[in-house]
Amino acid sequence: MLLDARAAARKPSTIDHATSACLPLVSLTAWEALHDRAQIRPGQTVLIHAGAGGVGHVAIQLARLHGCRVITTAGRDESIAFCREVLGADEIIDYRSTNFVSRCRELTAGRGVEVVFDTVGDETFRRSIDCLATGGQLVTILAATPGDRAPLLLYRSITVHYEFMGARVANDLDPGHQGKILTSIARLVDRGLLRVHVAARFPLEQVAEAHRHIETGRTIGKLAVVVAT
């Protein structure tokens, strides 16, 4: 496939090509959402939805590396364990049994979090508004809308950001910035500070099965489709 060379970077030297291929989309999305959009700062509390997912599990690591306290949501025992034991999230909320809005308020003494990173959309996006402190940042990677919650955004000076990692290259908006991000990501991987979790690898002839796996909503991390060996 064709790629703008300015947006490319050398793969990490400590992982193979299939694992490296799972990095760019999720790491660029998480990095731009947290650093370019929300401009996270050390000491802030960040809520990351679906922490065991592809984007979420990288976002947790990046936020922690930046000195943030990380709260995340997960819905299965294995996802909760992954977020706690592998990613080191500070607090994990089981959204099946716990109201994540109430729990976020409890964990912040009623003040709310400074940043929410939404990777789910729709009702999760709208409910996340109530998790935020006044002046907070809400970043989503979905085409979610606040609906009748919009006035609350205004009265509490909450900023909403929409993050699509393809926008820079598609619109020629300094695509070299993404090349620099990927270089930084590769360095973190090679230093053992960041990892991408590849749950399974599928040969190209099983790509339909890989899609069915993703559609279950039970994938932890990423899946790799190996085109050639």
CA-based radius of gyration for the chain: 18
pLDDT score at 228: 81
Query: Which pLDDT score, from 0 to 100, does residue 229 have?
Result: 67
Does residue 190 sit within a domain? no
pLDDT per residue of the chain (229 residues) written in tens, 0 to 9: 788 999 999 999 999 999 999 999 999 999 999 999 999 999 999 999 999 999 999 999 999 999 999 999 999 999 999 999 999 999 999 999 999 999 999 999 999 999 999 999 999 999 999 999 999 999 999 999 999 999 999 999 999 999 999 999 999 999 999 999 999 999 999 999 999 999 999 999 999 999 999 999 899 999 999 998 6
Rounded Cα–Cα distance for residues 103 and 110 (Å): 9
Asked, for residue 148, whether it belongs to a domain, the answer is: yes
> Residue 141 falls within a domain, yes or no?
yes
Instruction: Please tell me the chain's helix, strand, coil percentages from 3-state DSSP, rounded to the nearest 5.
Output: 45, 20, 35
Strand bridging mode 159-162 / 91-94: unpaired
Range of the domain at 109: 21-162
Residue 70's alpha-carbon distances to 7, 41, 99, 118, in angstroms, are: 29, 12, 17, 13
**pLDDT, position 75:** 94
Please tell me the predicted confidence (pLDDT) of residue 2. 85
How high is the pLDDT of residue 217? 87
Q: Look at residue 178 and tell me if it is in a domain.
A: no
Is 149 part of a structural domain of the chain? yes
Burial class (CB in 10 A: 0-12, 13-18, 19+), 125: buried
Residue 191 in domain: no
Question: Diameter of the chain by CA atoms?
Answer: 56
What DSSP string runs through 38-105?
S---TT-EEEESSTTSHHHHHHHHHHHHTT-EEEEEE-SHHHHHIIIIIS--SEEEETTTS-HHHHHH
Domain of 97: which CATH number?
3.40.50.720
Cα separation, 4 vs 165, whole angstroms: 14
Q: Does residue 155 form part of some domain? A: yes
For the chain, the domain total comes to: 1
Q: Which residues of 172-200 are buried (b: 16+ CB within 10 A; e: fewer)?
A: eeebeebbebbeebbebbeeeebbbbbbe
pLDDT at position 223 is 97
Tokens standing for 215? 């559609």
CA gap 129, 127 in Å, rounded: 5
Residue 138 lies in a domain: yes
